[in-house]
Amino acid sequence: MPRMGGNSREDTPQIKAPEFWLANVDAVERYLTTQVVRGRMHIAGYSTHVRPVRVLEYAVPHAASTLLVIGGTHGHEPGTVAAAMNLIHLLETGRDLAGKEHPTLLALIQKTHLYICPMLNPDGRAICPDTFYAQGLDTCTIYASGLQLDGSLVPYDADSSEPCYYFDPEKCLFIGGQFNGAGWAINRRLSPDHSEAVEVQSLLEFVKGRGIEAILDLHACGYNFAFQARTHPAPYWPVMREWQRRAEKLFASKGRPLGKLHGDGDPPVAPEFHFNSTLFHRHAKLMWMAFEGRQGFLGRTSFMPLPTEWEIIDDYLSAITVFVELGSEGYYARANRQTFGGG
């Protein structure tokens, strides 16, 4: 197997995806640089391999809230990028990339100062296929971790209490989507004060001082569910539970599954390491939420029924709908005031 560098996609096998599944790193860049009219384009920073980390801003007068949606934190989760790009297209044209209308979401967004970072980890996205739809979990695991020179997996363990924070890309055939191009885990921190991943640190510096009240970080696995940020203090716990209550109702109305709120408790038990949620909460004084959508895997009965690719996108947009709705009602602003003070 040839080595797959962070600057090239030539050796990455691809699976054909629908046109509305816009997750290809080059196609996303092309859209953002040629099709965006309404949104204001920012470059928060650059990846290890000098790809721009773009943020689109959609401002409205007298906004009810100021929010940020992040896609593409993990490169092996292409649906998160596709969902963010469908959200951008909805804001640009009034329809998603499949031509579908989302009147409730659009009405809420029209009262929201919204930032969208569609691809936080472009180097990780570039090394992975553009979809894992109707594929096995094992295939995604290879791209999530990467392969060492001997063909074995890079030892990243998402469920470990002490996961792999760094792995030298020079020791790899390719470094996986859990990492950035320099080999740093994109969502695991050695410290709550700084991210070694330049993409994350650049976005944090961009966010500071913009009045952003909450972030929704999109992820993907085999199931739909959301995370309680376990390092957040008590004022945020009922907010996440309210998101869960409303989301359960919305997903049920569409006949879609939604798992229980992950990590909830009184209090939630904090992990033994730091996620990006701790970093942004502490230094940007905001709430962090994470939603896991479906990849469309095969191989387990629990992955059934297999969603359509559009249903996967729509599930993300449903999660975003509830996220924006709570912002418009002041949930995040109140929890932030209770935690950090201020008017």
241-292 per-position pLDDT tens digit: 999 999 999 999 999 999 999 999 988 988 888 899 999 999 999 999 999 9
For the sheet with 214-221, list strands across it: 40-46, 52-58, 112-117, 65-70, 214-221, 287-294, 225-227
> How high is the pLDDT of residue 273?
84
CB burial string 111-121: b at 16+ within 10 A, e below: bbbbbbbbbbb
φ and ψ at 116, to 5 degrees? -135, 120
Residue 191 contacts by C-beta under 8 Å, 6 or more apart in sequence? 274
pTM: 0.96
> How do strand 287-294 and strand 214-221 relate by DSSP bridges?
parallel
Residues in the chain: 343
Residue 55, H or E segment: strand 52-58
Question: CA–CA separation, 53 vs 119, rounded Å?
Answer: 7
φ and ψ at 285, to 5 degrees? 55, 60
Contact 105, 250 (CB under 8 A): no
Question: CA–CA separation, 33 vs 84, rounded Å?
Answer: 15
Question: CA–CA separation, 259 vs 244, rounded Å?
Answer: 9
Rounded to 10 deg, the angle between the 237-253 and 309-328 helix axes is 140
Look up tokens 């949606």; give the residue.
Answer: 69
Look up tokens 């959200």; give the residue.
Answer: 87
What's the maximum distance between 2 C-alpha atoms anywhere in the chain?
58
Three-state secondary-structure class, residue 287: strand
Contact 331, 116 (CB under 8 A): no
Question: CA–CA separation, 322 vs 116, rounded Å?
Answer: 16
Question: CA–CA separation, 282 vs 287, rounded Å?
Answer: 9
Query: Which of 92, 93, 98, 89 minimizes the C-alpha distance to 20?
Result: 98
Question: CA–CA separation, 58 vs 45, rounded Å?
Answer: 19
Question: CA–CA separation, 121 vs 107, rounded Å?
Answer: 30
> How high is the pLDDT of residue 343?
65
Per-residue pLDDT of the chain (343 residues; tens, 9 = 90+): 445 544 455 567 788 899 999 999 999 999 999 999 999 999 999 999 999 999 999 999 999 999 999 999 999 999 999 999 999 999 999 999 999 999 999 999 999 999 999 999 999 999 999 999 999 999 999 999 999 999 999 988 766 667 789 999 999 999 999 999 999 999 988 888 999 999 999 999 999 999 999 999 999 999 999 999 999 999 999 999 999 999 999 999 999 999 999 999 988 988 888 899 999 999 999 999 999 999 999 999 999 999 999 999 999 999 999 999 999 999 999 999 999 998 6
Q: Classify residue 89 as left (phi > 0), alpha (psi -120 to 50) or beta.
A: alpha
Residue 1 contacts by C-beta under 8 Å, 6 or more apart in sequence? 11, 147, 151, 173
Return the C-alpha torsion angle 275, 279, 284, 288, nearest 10.
10
**Structure token pair of residue 296:** 């469309």
Contact 65, 327 (CB under 8 A): yes
